[in-house]
Amino acid sequence: MEHNLMVEVNDLSKIYSPSNRIEHINFEITKGECFALCGGNGAGKSTVIQMIIGNVKPSSGTIKLSGMTMDMNRAVYKSLFSYMPDAMVFPKVLTGYEVLCFFADLSNVPKGRVDFLLEKVGLANDKDKKVREYSKGMQQRLALAQSLLPEAPLLILDEPTNGLDPYWVREFKNIIKEEKEKGTTILFSSHILSDVEELADRVAFMNSGRLLVTDTVEALTKGNNDSSAVKTTLEEVFFSLVKAEQPV
């Protein structure tokens, strides 16, 4: 039977210490959906992502991708997603082209796709430069190209537009929209709530290791039930959620 859910996160927790806990995280992402994980610094977004991709072992809870846990078949589980970290460290002695060819070989991706993606992220003219000569933004564009190489059904992006100039923020958003149109399921984390509003179908807000709310962008920004109500922004929603959490 075709499984409609790409991601199922069920009562997931990571207890780093008694005072540093990410707990009771529950959400599902339907195939083809664009889902944003939002929250302030230290809310737990990256930890949740790291648990999904198998880099951090959960203290409890389960994660399924397309109905499958990592324990069922690690190789198949890992083939279901590709991942762009918030800061990727590349071997600095390699050129951008060599880096992508390395990752392409790992995933049996034809070299033609390397050239296509270098063009897409605006690095075609710099492909023979060593990565150590790349600016931070160029390295980030290389990281995005790396994550797009395998055309995995689930694309996971940790803070994809952080630190990019306005031109490349827009280009990144267009690339994410293209992926969405192709039917790729997308999970991304971001602090930039205007980007989230533009890209995401649904949003989960985290604070201090807990999930506060998960809903569609439309429902979160519609104001109140009065149809004449002025729409609010995700930024305002986030402020009121975090404010409500503060001790009085």
Q: Which residues bind ligand ATP (CB under 6 A)?
A: 16, 20, 39, 41-47
**What whole-number distance in Å separates Cα of residue 99 and Cα of residue 95?**
6
The CA-based angle 154-15-8, given to 5 degrees, is: 25
To the nearest whole angstrom, how small is the minimum distance from the Cβ of residue 29 to ligand ATP? 18
Closer to ligand ATP by Cβ: residue 47 or 82 = 47
Q: Kindly give, in sequence order, each residue whose CB lies less than 8 Å from that of residue 233, ignoring residues fewer than 6 positions away.
A: 193, 194, 197, 221
Closer to ligand ATP by Cβ: residue 107 or 214 = 214
**What whole-number distance in Å separates Cα of residue 114 and Cα of residue 130?**
16
Instruction: Give Cα separations from 231 to 38, 60, 129, 193, 243 (angstroms).
Output: 20, 38, 47, 15, 19
To the nearest whole angstrom, how small is the minimum distance from the Cβ of residue 9 to ligand ATP? 14
Closer to ligand ATP by Cβ: residue 77 or 205 = 205
Q: Kindly give, in sequence order, each residue whose CB lies less than 8 Å from that of residue 133, ignoring residues fewer than 6 positions away.
A: none
Where b means 16+ CB within 10 Å and e means fewer, 92-101 reads eeebbbbbbb
To the nearest whole angstrom, how small is the minimum distance from the Cβ of residue 57 to ligand ATP? 11
Closer to ligand ATP by Cβ: residue 37 or 186 = 37
Residue 59 backbone dihedrals phi, psi, to 5 degrees: -75, -35
> Residue 82's beta-bridge partner residues?
155
DSSP 3: -
> Residue 213's beta-bridge partner residues?
205
Closer to ligand ATP by Cβ: residue 38 or 114 = 38
Closer to ligand ATP by Cβ: residue 32 or 54 = 54
Closer to ligand ATP by Cβ: residue 21 or 78 = 21
DSSP reduced 3-state for 88? coil
To the nearest whole angstrom, how small is the minimum distance from the Cβ of residue 151 to ligand ATP? 26
To the nearest whole angstrom, how small is the minimum distance from the Cβ of residue 18 to ligand ATP? 12
To the nearest whole angstrom, how small is the minimum distance from the Cβ of residue 1 to ligand ATP? 34
To the nearest whole angstrom, how small is the minimum distance from the Cβ of residue 135 to ligand ATP? 21
